Structure 1
């Protein structure tokens, strides 16, 4: 999940560890999670602000994807 690589301790942008993930676009990234209360929306993580937002997953909306996995 993109939230796993989000750096919530940063008070300046970008909201990601740019040393570990260089050249990450400051844009929305899809999450596999659905947005609570929004049946057709998935969670996106905006790495320019660190915010999570709903985005309709059934329409023509676009966002980046990043492959992530648990370290275990």
Structure 2
């Protein structure tokens, strides 16, 4: 994975964590969470959701999955 994507992943995970998006009830849009340029790299955000790094609600908000 190129460094730009690793930086983007860390940025998204950090912003969701500090915004308190840790459940479907507290989920946030990337914009509300403070993610820089939330519409950039949409394919990468989709990949993070598919791989389980983040979860997406039906209305397009995101949250961090529970740690097991």
TM-score normalized by structure 2? 0.29
Looking at secondary structure, tell me which structure has more strand per residue. 1
Greater relative contact order (Cα < 8 A, sep 6+) = 2
Looking at secondary structure, tell me which structure has more helix per residue. 2
Q: Which has the larger radius of gyration?
A: 1
TM-score normalized by structure 1? 0.28
